[in-house]
């Protein structure tokens, strides 16, 4: 019998997870199909409950549901509980278990694509949603000097800062404050964990930072992977900063999800090749 996994979110036109996950299942000859389940808020609870049916192995959860979904699962992995966001659900013994593989994907992307050392560095994260939470909590053991969370809504930034305050020295900023520009200039690592710049959205051609603000010695990590060269990455290259595309994080977090669903090591190279091909 063919088993099912898929991605739940809204919108999903930008997502390439079905492409590279299916390539991995097919490469290992696993009878699994990866589906797209674009989900309106009114459908969300029902679509999560449907995962309890026999044919489902689990799902990926993406924007805007990574935090909301917690109330609908039976248990959380310790990392997902700490972060307060889920991007992967695994069904075990008819129970839905929530995991967060974004944190793994974030750290491993930086370690595999850069010589960046977190120790004593100043970090700026754009956004305060599930992806931002994963990035922030992944750094609590990295001995960073400080973290600034910049978000359109200060309340969400403040809530995340409160959650992190026992681990990291955290400041917050809105995106129009003079403090925001100053934070960009002083940061060693800037992480876009928002959807700004994402293809097939109203923010596709938008950007929050200009090249003149970016230090040439900094690292710019854009979690947006579609398009591969985002407006932020274009500005970072103008500033001669180091850049990492969100595609690397997508593949690493996806490989960890794959392993959770199948108990098999993911064919990462196959996944990466499939993803790169569809984005060219």
Structure tokens at 231: 């407006």
pLDDT of residue 176: 87
Query: Mean pLDDT in the chain?
Result: 96
pLDDT tier at 193, thresholds 50, 70, 90: very high
- 3-100+248-279 and 103-245: same fold? yes
What Cα–Cα distance (Å) separates residue 215 from each residue in 123, 151, 218?
13, 21, 5
Q: Domain segments of the chain: what residues?
A: 3-100+248-279, 103-245
Model confidence pLDDT, tens digit, residues 123-147: 999 999 999 999 999 999 999 999 9
The fourth-level CATH superfamily of domain 103-245 is NAD(P)-binding Rossmann-like Domain (3.40.50.720)
Q: Cα dist. 228→13, 77, 107, 191, 252 in Å?
A: 15, 31, 19, 15, 16
3-state secondary structure of 61: strand
pLDDT tens string 224-233: 999 999 999 9
Active-site residue set: 66
More confident residue, 36 or 169: 36
Classify each residue of 216-244 as buried b or exposed e, where b means 16 or more C-beta atoms within 10 Å of its C-beta: eebbbbbbbbbbbebbbbebbeebebbbb
CA atoms within 13 A on the CB side of 174: 6
Question: What's this model's pTM, rounded to 2 decimal places?
Answer: 0.93
Question: Does the pLDDT at position 200 exceed 90?
Answer: no
* CATH fold group of domain 3-100+248-279: Rossmann fold (3.40.50)
């Amino acid at each position: 019998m063919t088993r099912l996994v898929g991605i739940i979110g809204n919108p999903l036109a930008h997502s390439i997870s079905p492409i590279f996950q299916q390539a991995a299942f097919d490469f290992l000859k696993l009878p699994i199909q990866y589906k797209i389940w674009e989900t309106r808020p009114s459908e969300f609870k029902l679509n999560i409950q449907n995962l309890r049916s026999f044919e489902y192995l689990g799902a990926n959860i993406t924007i805007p549901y990574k935090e909301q979904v917690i109330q609908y699962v039976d248990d959380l992995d310790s990392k997902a509980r700490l972060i307060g966001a889920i991007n992967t659900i695994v069904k075990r013994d008819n129970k839905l278990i929530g995991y967060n593989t974004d944190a793994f994907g974030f750290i491993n992307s930086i370690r595999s694509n850069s010589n960046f050392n977190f120790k004593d560095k100043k970090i700026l994260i754009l956004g305060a949603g599930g992806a931002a939470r994963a990035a922030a909590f992944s750094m609590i053991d990295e001995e960073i000097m400080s973290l600034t969370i910049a978000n359109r809504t200060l309340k969400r930034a403040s809530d995340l800062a409160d959650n992190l305050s026992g681990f990291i020295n955290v400041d917050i900023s809105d995106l129009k404050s003079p403090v925001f520009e100053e934070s960009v200039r002083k940061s060693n690592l800037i992480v876009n964990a928002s959807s700004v710049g994402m293809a097939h959205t109203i923010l596709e051609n938008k950007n929050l930072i200009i090249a003149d603000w970016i230090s040439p010695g900094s690292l710019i990590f854009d979690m947006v992977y579609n398009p591969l060269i985002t407006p932020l990455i274009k500005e970072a290259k103008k500033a001669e900063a180091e850049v990492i595309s969100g595609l690397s994080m997508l593949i690493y977090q996806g490989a960890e999800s794959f392993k959770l669903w199948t108990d098999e090591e993911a064919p990462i190279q196959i996944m990466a090749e499939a993803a790169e091909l569809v984005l060219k």
